[in-house]
Structure 1
Amino acid sequence: MDRKTLLKAIFVISLLYFIWLIMAVANETFWSYNLYLSFKTWSIIGMIAYAAFIIIEVLLYITAPKEEEEEIKIVSEAIKKIVCSNCKTVFTIRDTGVRPLKYKCPNCGMEGVLRGKSVKGKRLAIECDKCGNEFEIFDTGERPLKYKCPVCHYQGVLS
């Protein structure tokens, strides 16, 4: 039986015992109907069951596989989309979380630094007027918007 199922079974048994104990107390107090065992005997059975359940849960806790901290530390780096301030090309880098994060544009070679501020805007698909290559730039609303084709390095302008 796996751990989760065993803990559910312990909970259900404990709940049923608690309900039975309430019924035994009510019977002994109000109706005086003779049950198989007295309230005192049911209480002793409950204490023994409670101790057994505690021992089972402690054993489950001790035998549970330990989560190693190294596994938590080895997390894949986040991928961050970057917009080159020079040619407006959208590209991705691995974000280690360390700031400032230096990067280099694969299109124009300009170096930049990520300081944690995000620029508002939207991605825009552009087709190069010279070679017909389709690529994405980041439109911040700034006009005229200059961009550079990553294939032929044609510089275009959106107005």
Structure 2
Amino acid sequence: MSTQAAAILDATDRRLVIATQNGLPLVTRPYHQLAEAIGIAPEEVMVRLTRLLESGVIRRIGAVPNHYAIGYTANGMSVWDVPDERIDELGVRVGGLDFVTHCYHRPRRLPEWPYNLFAMVHGGSRAEVLAKVASIAEIIGSDCRSHDVLFSTGILKKTGLRMAARQE
């Protein structure tokens, strides 16, 4: 979070960010439970979270699944060398596939690393991931100059930046 973004947070915003940074409560009405915990109305929780999203203080509210726990034990980052002038179009097509969880453009690091399009694929086996990567290769077609798949060897704790509670 930038210094400018931190400056627009009031004490209630800080409490809300701290209360949500480890995830929303797994209840039917999570915003109501948050509201009760920090002492504001549920509608105010929603208004504040919307403002924090729109201002960029927080980037997203979404589920972060543990792929291993839901049966996806093979996780492969497919990396592609495609023409830079085609990356936006290809990225939208690849990222729109239901089996691609995230897709993005990254800079090449020539000569060792020619890849500029990355697409994460999960499956129950390496063979399943490779079959899905083959589907991506069909979409990219002749624009694919080379590609590879980097398989995960373990799971890392997925967390973003954390805001510490002030000790006042």
What TM-score, normalized to structure 1? 0.20
Higher strand share: 1
What TM-score, normalized to structure 2? 0.19
Which of structures 1 and 2 has the larger relative contact order (alpha carbons within 8 angstroms, sep 6+)? 2
Which structure has the larger Rg?
1
